[in-house]
Amino acid sequence: MNAKTALEAQFLATLAMLNQIVDRCPDEIWDDPSDENKVWHVAYHALFYAHLYLSQKDEEMEPWPKARENYNVLGDTMPFPPHDPVDHSIPYTKNDIHEYINFCREQVRQQIAVVDLEAAESGFFWIPLSKFELQLYNMRHLQSHVGELAHRLWIGGVSTDWIGQPE
């Protein structure tokens, strides 16, 4: 197995775990008013950045058709000055997030096939990593949020399964 095959398989397995979380998430956890960052919002954030960093360069990212401005930002304000407030008042539905997961699955298949893992630069000026290391960074970010969401479900009495290989 080569590096591209392994990266694709593990990205797809991670997306399958996120898909399972969306399937099993009760509505009261999905949009829990007591959560600063709702389950749907964390899922969207994780998918947005997986999608972005699968692109060859920032300017080459083709937005998901249902993307909403600044919904990638967690919290109530922009992370950089002047820290303007952001509006996340319209939640994404489970169907929306399932659609984005499927969109990202296609991005994984398309982008991993053509990525130059030997490239010295990530393609993103704010990330000083090689292209290969960017994909490891990308997968770690996605998986960390999948783990976070699985833990939220576990606290709510809902279990999830480990998926080691893609569906």
pLDDT in tens, 2-38: 999 999 999 999 999 999 999 999 999 999 999 999 9
Q: Which two tokens stand for residue 56?
A: 């060859």
Q: Residue 74: what pLDDT?
A: 81
Q: Residue 99: what pLDDT?
A: 98
Per the model's pLDDT, the better-predicted residue between 167 and 40 turns out to be 40
Q: Using CA atoms, how far apart are residues 134 and 88, in angstroms rounded to an integer?
A: 28
Look at residue 22 and tell me if it is in a domain: yes
pLDDT at 140 over 70: yes
Angstrom CA distances, 129 to 71, 124, 135, 137, stand at 25, 9, 10, 9
Number of domains present in the structure of the chain: 1
- What would the mean pLDDT of 77-83 be, rounded to a whole number? 79
Task: Give the angle 73-79-83 at the CA atoms, nearest 5°.
Answer: 110
What's 87's DSSP letter?
Answer: -
Q: Residue 1: what pLDDT?
A: 65
Look at residue 167 and tell me if it is in a domain: no
The domain of 60 spans 3-77+87-155
Look at residue 166 and tell me if it is in a domain: no
Look at residue 18 and tell me if it is in a domain: yes
Look at residue 82 and tell me if it is in a domain: no
Model-level pTM?
A: 0.95
At residue 77, the 3 state secondary structure works out as strand
Identify the CATH number of the domain in which residue 120 sits: 1.20.120
Q: What pLDDT, in 10s, does the model give residues 91-134? A: 999 999 999 999 999 999 999 999 999 999 999 999 999 999 99
Look at residue 164 and tell me if it is in a domain: no
What's 116's DSSP letter?
Answer: -
Could you tell me if 104 and 47 are in contact, meaning their C-beta atoms sit under 8 angstroms apart?
Answer: yes
